[in-house]
Amino acid sequence: MNNDDFNIRWKKVEDLLTARFGKMPNFEGMLMMIGVQEVNLPKKKFTKEQKQDLMHVAVCVLLTRSGYFEPEGRDKDGWPHFKEIQPVPKMGMEEQERFLKEHIIDYFEEGEE
């Protein structure tokens, strides 16, 4: 995805989330939101460990789209579990954030269809 296309599509995600929540969540907040949506938890307050687990779920869900993970099912509490299919490439922080943002863009664009 070239920079112009990326910036336009990312701006749409930011606008969508700002409209939905009244402000733009930070990157961790976006991952938490995706995790909560995927786990489908009604709970409003989460422990630090649950927040980390929700972000992990979000990353696995996002990278499932690129063939890095596949769903293995859910545990007795309804939390999804994933199996790594191929290792995620090693990246620097900026490259990793861009990589995840591209997947977040795809996630929200698919949700609009």
pLDDT at 20: 87
pLDDT at 112: 63
What amino acid is encoded at 32 in this protein? M
Q: Three-state DSSP class for 69?
A: strand
In percent, the amount of the chain with pLDDT more than 90 equals 75
Across 74-93, b (16+ Cβ under 10 Å) vs e yields eeeeebbebeeeeeeeeeee
Which DSSP letter does residue 46 get? -
> What is the pLDDT confidence band of residue 2, given thresholds at 50, 70 and 90?
confident
pLDDT, the chain, mean:
91
pLDDT digits (tens, 9 = 90+) for 73-91: 999 988 999 999 999 999 9
In degrees and rounded to multiples of 5, residue 82 shows phi and psi of -130, 155
User: Which residues have CB under 8 Å from 53's CB, separation 6+?
Assistant: 35, 79
pLDDT digits (tens, 9 = 90+) for 97-113: 999 999 999 999 987 65
Average pLDDT over residues 8-32: 92
pLDDT digits (tens, 9 = 90+) for 41-50: 776 788 999 9
Q: Where are the alpha helices (DSSP H) in the chain?
A: 3-21, 27-39, 48-64, 93-112
Average pLDDT over residues 20-34: 90
Q: Are 69 and 82 in contact (CB under 8 A)?
A: yes
Q: Are 18 and 24 in contact (CB under 8 A)?
A: yes
